[in-house]
Structure 1
């Protein structure tokens, strides 16, 4: 028992260290806007179904942690551990040009314990919140001189959460998460004259974030018989004020004949260090529904909306627009009670998602869509332990090639390991 607890503590510390020190985990010019590319609070088994989760209570007989709607925690009947990693192949297209990249990282660690089995449970863990990673150059004229504007950014925000879910009566559930959002976001904008003997200038902006947020949810179940049900769900996150410290630096630098930057910098023109400020996060709403036959099949849909037009940093609105999107998907398990035939026990999942993001460029909304699919592969199980490997693939695109925009095609891979175990059960001996 204590070895298992110590193991979880060690992994939590490792993942926290990696989250704090991680640099570029994405290559997306669209991550320049807002706080970076926003990552949903979803494990691979939910991503495989297009991201449906708000109205999902128990997708099968296996306990899963659904952080998107903490009301679902009440259905956790065994100690549950979920951890995994993610990788992405991204191809950027701009007319006839294209560029591909690969990034991978540890993705999540989540733990849940039943308080009263089938009635209440707690959960805690670490998840990615946003990712920032881009680098590109824009050539232009300044007066009559040719110049290059160089833009780059890196960093991420991580979410540590602690949540509780409770069921009231037979069909109604509520829950909430307290979340600590932390990390660093750094961006640079440089001006370099072309074919001129001149100094280059660079502005560096760094935001070190650390503050508390809240999310919440509710679910209501409508029985359709002994093994069928409809689940209606709502979840959201509050419009929280998050503390951060901002640093701003303006420097003058040079490059040698080969184009390499000469160190140290020629001069530091301006520096503002560790000024305290607040960012105002947007209010988020999610609505979901699922229909299922226990241990056989489930289908569902989600609708989401975010008030990103209200995002502000140090009192300055970030010029974003409100977002909305929807997901649809489901899973099927051929025969979870079969005595033989491994593939009868496998969960087969598929889904679709569409989003109008909070970005608008050249009077055109930047949209994102993807098809998703995955497998839930049961591993060897014992009398009191159950293991499952969840593999998910997302194939999608963001943006388009019209109106001078960049099209971002991506293939995301997610691998998660889920453990169900009876850690805190007191056994009686005759």
Structure 2
């Protein structure tokens, strides 16, 4: 009875988290999030992020069950009920030639995911993850002749651009094994949310000037599919070489756009007052947003309970992304991940530090953005820890901490260079639920 009570309490918390996340706004503060459908989230747990983001050919890490949404075939290796809840923090510094640097920080509940074994070689998984985020705000000041102007100039015009919103991914998946070496799996996901862009034109130093604002938004929702496989070569009971493949299908989501043009005055403090008039307010017909096909390949080698090393390569066909039949002008992306985990002595009871998972990795990303004649690239190094907590009546707990330190963009051709630190804090539970007890 206690087991079932715990299940329903946890499910209630999951529903509450789902509701809170669905209503949240974006936690991105990057000017690059204005392209496409925003910054795409890696959809990884902290234990994978600490290893450079490798996931395609991983399932269990050591002897611990993990939820790996990137490759649903991994669910087939889950043999205990697993819950993973994560928090996320982002610290970002923006630099641009001729401008002062800007610092931002953001925090959020990142994910909640469950995996429940249905047989010795199969399991169900479901949960809620972030899919993409939009969040930017910048301003350009010019005079009436189109040249740079000072803020005190009575002829200056301010052009401001901002955006916010996010897309979330609720998924349900199943993975199973065929024979001893092959795992197969798939996710059905519902991607939903809103993304919005706002452009304003203001003449701040001209009394009685009418300012204008253009606001466009897209409400998005629809089904997406992930599928994958993993094949292992066993050199012994504890040493395994795993090859993996997974993909996200290039499906079409529903989208409906709205477009509002309004006019307003600034108040005595120079802030935007209530809109005086809406010149245009339209809601477009329901249309389609075409997502790209994303293919991922991975390889890993693991000595159970000792170490794991691996590498991934991903390709995203982002040149296919279109909204309401309009191609978004992106390019195809390429991502390389490499990393591993090492546990000095998983079975010792005298040296806690020897039971900790120590993780390290790196990634290189040629993003889908090509701006001012340059491909926007991202480089990052990662580090992580898996901190086991004392087991209790067959329950196993682990705190996963990961940090990603990286750079995106550059200072050439008027671009923005981002230096960032992402912190992931996760809590993972392994437990045996739904056990039938027999009495003599």
Matched, 1:103 2:106: yes
CA RMSD for the aligned pairs? 1.3
Runs (5+) with no aligned partner, structure 1: none
Structure 1 residue 10, shift from structure 2 partner: 1.6
Residue from 36, 39, 51 that aligns with 1:37: 39
Query: Contact 2:403–2:424 at 8 Å: present in 1 too?
Result: yes
Query: Contact 2:255–2:324 at 8 Å: present in 1 too?
Result: no
Give distance in 2, aligned partners of 1:141 and 1:17: 46
Structure 1 residue 17, shift from structure 2 partner: 1.6
Give distance in 2, aligned partners of 1:141 and 1:360: 29
Give distance in 2, aligned partners of 1:140 and 1:21: 37
Q: Residues 263-286 of structure 1, C-alpha deviation per residue, up to 9 Å, x if partnerless?
A: 1x1110111126312100000000
Structure 1 residue 84, shift from structure 2 partner: 1.3
SS at match of 1:343: helix
The aligned counterpart of 1:407 is 417
Query: TM-score of the superposition, structure 1-length normalised?
Result: 0.97
Matched, 1:247 2:258: yes
The aligned counterpart of 2:237 is 226
Q: Residues 366-415 of structure 1, C-alpha deviation per residue, up to 9 Å, x if partnerless?
A: 00111000100001212310000001111011101111110111111110
Query: Contact 1:247–1:275 at 8 Å: present in 2 too?
Result: no
Matched, 1:182 2:182: no
Give distance in 2, aligned partners of 1:298 and 1:181: 32
Give distance in 2, aligned partners of 1:376 and 1:246: 44
Query: TM-score of the superposition, structure 2-length normalised?
Result: 0.95
Residue from 80, 85, 88 that aligns with 1:86: 88
Alignment of 1:259-408 (within 5 A): 259-263=270-274, 265-273=275-283, 275-408=285-418
The aligned counterpart of 2:48 is 46
Runs (5+) with no aligned partner, structure 2: 147-154
Structure 1 residue 244, shift from structure 2 partner: 1.8
Change in Cα spacing, 1:71 to 1:259, as seen in structure 2 (3 Å) is same
Matched, 1:427 2:427: no
Structure 1 residue 146, shift from structure 2 partner: 3.8
Query: Contact 1:57–1:231 at 8 Å: present in 2 too?
Result: no
Matched, 1:236 2:239: no
Q: Residues 213-261 of structure 1, C-alpha deviation per residue, up to 9 Å, x if partnerless?
A: 0010011111122221110000001110001221110101111242111
Give distance in 2, aligned partners of 1:333 and 1:23: 38
Structure 1 residue 12, shift from structure 2 partner: 1.8
Structure 1 residue 57, shift from structure 2 partner: 2.4
- How many residues are aligned here? 428
The aligned counterpart of 2:125 is 123
Give distance in 2, aligned partners of 1:17 and 1:227: 42
The aligned counterpart of 1:173 is 183
The aligned counterpart of 1:193 is 203
